[in-house]
């Protein structure tokens, strides 16, 4: 299906959540997730034939929820409504995730995997994720491909419709690696940012087309 068709079919504002996968302080996760959001917003602006917003994009910061290590007495796969959970923090997380139609997971690579905080946030829920499309974008010194592959396996395991391609974002040089580790400004905004990750911008667009196709199924 052509991308314009996917946009046109995504009527009345599907809600897509862009999850910031890291929770450490400091971190660059919010900068990278914002870069992804801007790429997807530009995609919509350049592919949509009407002024109607085909989808709404929002950042989801795990730091806003401060989930403890998984502490629900029940198994989320057996709980179908927020009230079925024991704890308020789980009910709030369930309601938040329920309000979205699909997700982009922006994840760093930590020691060849994705962050424990992200796995914890995923494990808290089940039906809130199931059947919804998921796109993984990873980042790291080598692009974070190992984290992306592990995360894709888990998301497929909980019944999400996972986009096959997970575009990796590789820090451009040692200076950027150092800045990322220190949580400093990577210069991803504005015109300067547009000259970074040019090919990756295209790769995210291609993966996004697949995502929109899954959103419309």
* 29 touches ligand FMN by CB under 6 A: yes
First to last CA, the chain: 11
Among 181, 189, 202, 206, binds ligand FMN (CB under 6 A): 181
Tokens encoding 176:
């950027």
State the minimum distance, in angstroms, from the CB of residue 122 to ligand FMN: 17
Nearest distance from C-beta of residue 118 to ligand FMN, angstroms: 11
Please check whether residue 207 is in contact with residue 1, taking contact to mean a CB–CB distance below 8 angstroms: no
Using alpha carbons only, give the angle 155, 160, 163 rounded to the nearest 5 degrees.
Answer: 80
x/- track of binding to ligand FMN for residues 109-128 (CB under 6 A):
xxxx----------------
Q: Is 24 in the site for ligand FMN (CB under 6 A)?
A: yes
What gap in Å lies between CA 97 and CA 103, rounded to an integer?
A: 9
Helix (H, G, I), strand (E, B) or coil at 208: helix
Q: Which is nearer to ligand FMN, 130 or 142 (CB)?
A: 142
Q: Nearest approach, Cβ of 29 to ligand FMN (angstroms)?
A: 3
> x/- contact string, 64-93, with ligand FMN (CB under 6 A)?
------------------------------
Cis peptide before 66 (omega within 30 of 0): no
Site string for ligand FMN, 129-148 (x = CB under 6 A): -----------xxx-x----
Characterize the bridge pairing of strands 14-20 and 55-61.
parallel
User: E strands of 99-203, at which residues?
Assistant: 102-108, 133-140, 161-162, 168-170
From residue 200, alpha-carbon distances to 1, 61, 92, 168 in Å are 22, 23, 34, 7
Distance CA 44, CA 90 (A): 33
Question: CB of residue 170 vs ligand FMN: minimum separation in angstroms?
Answer: 8
Q: Residue from 145, 159, 183, 187 that binds ligand FMN (CB under 6 A)?
A: 183
Query: Which residue lies nearer to ligand FMN by CB, 159 or 183?
Result: 183
Q: How far is the CB of 64 from ligand FMN (least distance, A)?
A: 15
Residues that bind ligand FMN (CB under 6 A): 22, 24, 27-29, 108-112, 140-142, 144, 180-181, 183
């Amino acid at each position: 299906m052509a991308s314009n068709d996917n946009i046109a079919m995504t009527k009345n504002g599907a809600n897509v959540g862009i999850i910031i996968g890291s929770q450490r302080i400091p971190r660059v996760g919010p900068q990278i997730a914002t870069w992804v959001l801007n790429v997807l917003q530009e995609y919509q602006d350049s592919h949509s034939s009407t002024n109607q917003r085909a989808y709404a994009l929002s950042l989801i910061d795990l730091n806003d929820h401060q989930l403890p290590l998984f502490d629900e007495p029940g198994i989320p796969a057996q709980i179908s409504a927020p009230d079925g959970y024991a704890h308020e923090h789980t009910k709030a997380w369930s309601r938040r995730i329920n309000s979205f139609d699909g997700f982009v997971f922006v994840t760093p690579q930590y020691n060849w995997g994705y962050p424990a905080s992200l796995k914890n946030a995923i494990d808290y829920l089940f039906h809130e994720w199931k059947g919804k499309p998921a796109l993984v974008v990873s980042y790291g010194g080598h692009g974070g491909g190992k984290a992306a592959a592990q995360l894709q396996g888990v998301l497929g395991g909980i019944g999400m419709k996972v986009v096959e391609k997970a575009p990796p974002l590789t820090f451009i040089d040692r200076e950027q690696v150092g800045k990322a580790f220190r949580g400093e400004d990577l210069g991803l905004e504005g015109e300067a940012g547009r000259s970074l990750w040019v090919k990756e911008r295209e790769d995210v667009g291609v993966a996004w087309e697949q995502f929109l196709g899954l959103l419309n199924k």
